Structure formats: structure tokens, C-alpha cells
Amino acid sequence: MAIRRISARRLTRSAAVAAAALLTVTALAACGSDDASSSDADAVTISDQWVKAADSGMTAAFGKLHNSADRDIRVVSAHTDDAGSTEMHEVVDNGTGGTTMRQKDGGFVIPAKGEIDLVPGGEHFMLMQLKKPITTGQNVAFSIRFEDGSTMKFDALARDFDGNQENYAPGEHGGDDMPDHSGSHQ
């Protein structure tokens, strides 16, 4: 009988050690952030997205990007099949009392547990070389890529918008294709 008691004690002790190890692993997983294993795209949502209706040339897309992660997330590119290219732009002071729209170096950073507003007169996606008119009521499909390589797709509804009538003067930057977007931004 003494042998059985020792074996039962060892078995009970082994089971207790295994249960403790399992609880420790479970507790560590619960304490750790899911952010480390999830992609940037999993942590970002968009709301209030829309695109300015336009017949030709250029237009812009707007919305609110929300980040649920405990880390900053960077959007590095955007794409829509409705434009020859899609760039990330910002509007900045031009030093003479006006503003200039330019490509946003490094992309858009969505702060940890925060959001950024893509708005007329601020940061936005610029659709260049429209392939066809974007008409009011049309859904425009977009894909954005994050720094970690993950992507997110969304649709933006086209609507009329009279504000932000920029003056576009392509080719004034030393012969490059980047247009000068100076003008009044309301």
C-alpha cells in the first residue's frame, strides 16, 4: 500500500504542476496584448468614408481611421482601380499666408487607441489621373496597405462637395508629375 500512496502522491503532484503550468501560460496570454500577433489591418477600421464626385482629373477621399491597438499604426499606401495613382496628401502652410497640398512623407500615422480624420483641407487620399468620372452615389473601392504589409479594403460613397476648390498646376515642381495644389482650403 505504501507504494500506491507514493504513486498517487506523485500523480497528484504531477497533475498539480501541469495545471499550474497551464494556468501560467493562460494568464500570460491573457495579460499579453493581442496586438503583437495581430496585423495592423486587424486593428484598424474606417468610418464616414466618402469621395468627392469628379468628372475627370483628380479628386480626393476622406474618412475617419480608428486604431484599436496599443501601438501606432502607419498607412503606407492606398489604391483604387478608378485612378491611375492614389497618393496620401496633407495640406500645410505655404509660408505666404496660404496653404499647399503635398504628398505626405511616410504616410499617415494612426495613434495607439486613437484615430485620424481624413478631411478636406487636411490629410486625405488623392486620386490622380481618374480613369472615368466618379459620379454622385457611386461606390468607389479602395485598398490601403499598412507598414506591416497587411491590407484593408473599404468602399467610399461618392458625393457632391463644393468646398476646397484647389488650383492645380501640374509639372511646376522641377518637371516632376507632382502637381502644385496651392489655393484656398475652406
Instruction: List, for residues 129-156, the tens digit of each pLDDT value.
Output: 999 999 999 999 999 999 999 999 999 9
Would residue 149 count as lying in a domain? yes
Start-end of H helices in 32-122: 40-43
Residue 9 has a pLDDT of 58
Residue 184 resides in a domain:
no
Residue 177 and residue 134: Cα distance in Å, rounded?
A: 22
DSSP code at position 27:
H
Cell of residue 4, nine digits: 500506491
pLDDT of residue 6: 53
For residue 181, pLDDT beyond 80: no
pLDDT value, residue 178:
39
pLDDT tops 70 at residue 102: yes
Would you state the cell numbers that stand for residue 81, as one nine-digit string? 482601380
Q: Is 174 left (phi over 0), alpha (psi -120 to 50) or beta?
A: left
Please state, in angstroms and rounded to a whole number, the distance separating the CA atoms of residues 136 and 92: 28
CATH of residue 103's domain is 2.60.40.1890
Note down the domain range covering 74.
40-159
Do 10 and 95 belong together in one domain? Answer: no
CB 12 within 8 A of CB 33: no
Instruction: Report if pTM > 0.85.
Output: no
Greater confidence, 28 or 143? 143
**Cα→Cα distances 131→41, 94, 96, Å:** 27, 30, 34
pLDDT for res 139: 97
Q: Do 128 and 87 form a contact (C-beta atoms < 8 A)?
A: yes
Report pLDDT for 4: 55
* Residue 7, amino acid: S
